[in-house]
Amino acid sequence: MKYFIGNWKMFGVPNSINILNKINSYYSKDKNRSKYRVIITPPYTLIESYAKHFKNKKISIGSQNCYQKDYFSSNTAAISPYMIKKVGARYTLIGHSDNRSEGDTNEMLKAKVQFALKNNLRVVFCIGENKTEKRNKKTLSALKRQISKVLEKKFRISNIIVAYEPIWSIGTGKIPTKIELENTTMHIKKVLKNIFKGKSPPVLYGGSVDGNNVEIFREIREIDGFLIGGASKSSKKFIDIIKNYYR
Ligand code: PGA
């Protein structure tokens, strides 16, 4: 199974649902539709209405983050995994570099993953090296650390997806070479297999994915799909990625 996950970030108002209606109508008619899943993570404000609208449709709705506590608490502006699940989210991103750079620690991320899984959300756990780590050839060790500080073998593997997003690639138009990507993806799967008794959850790639470069990623079998930022805000660009992937 492949995954095409659109991360809207700080984008969208109620009638932006038109973008998703177009994606959904392509997806529900596509002859390849049984090979992949489409998930969109709009901002918190739109989860409930979008999830209701797409309840019995192909697209699933997820959240971009969640708070590191369960149920209810006295943390201003915080939203728990329980709360997003109750309004219809089925997935949640955790550990996006935007949130890591705003202070999410490994400890917080672990609590987020735990409570998200407890609430039966599928977790899309994001990892990625920064420019300096890449320059100093520390990519593999940085990724290993990010994974092993958070994921544990007791976590339900069937509800985990890992998204590899090199920070220097997000929103920049720069992407890793094919060889780099093959090596890092294999390394990530190896680290994951060490944790999960020989099995690896799906590993996605994210960072400047578009309809043109998706053909490069398609050749790397280990990549199980994509986390798509910029290009997910346009139905045409998002559909082009899927179309060109299966061309
Ligand atoms: P991008 O963002 O596709 O715009 O590079 C990816 C992400 O941050 O998830």
Digit-coded pLDDT (tens) for 168-221: 999 999 999 999 999 999 999 999 999 999 999 999 999 999 999 999 999 999
Separation between Cα atoms, residue 121 and residue 197, nearest integer Å: 22
Separation between Cα atoms, residue 186 and residue 42, nearest integer Å: 30
| Whether the CB of 204 sits within 6 Å of ligand 1 | no
Q: Which residues pair with 36 in a beta bridge?
A: 2
| Whether the CB of 241 sits within 6 Å of ligand 1 | no
pLDDT of residue 211: 97
Phi, psi of 100 (to 5 degrees): -60, -40
Q: What is the pLDDT of residues 67-87, one digit of tens each?
A: 999 999 999 999 999 999 999
Q: Domain map of the chain by residue range? A: 2-245
Domain 2-245 class?
A: alpha beta
pLDDT of residue 172: 97
In the DSSP assignment, the letter for residue 215 is H
Question: Cα of 71 to ligand 1 centre, how many Å?
Answer: 29
pTM: 0.98
Residues 6 or more apart from 80 whose CB is under 8 A from it?
66, 67, 69, 70, 71, 72, 73, 115
Note if 129 is an active site residue. Answer: no
Question: Cα of 74 to ligand 1 centre, how many Å?
Answer: 32
The residue whose C-alpha atom lies closest to atom 2 belonging to ligand 1 is: 229
Kindly state the tokens that stand for 82: 């329980």
Q: What percent of the chain has pLDDT over 90?
A: 100
Note if 165 is an active site residue. Answer: yes
Separation between Cα atoms, residue 95 and residue 116, nearest integer Å: 12
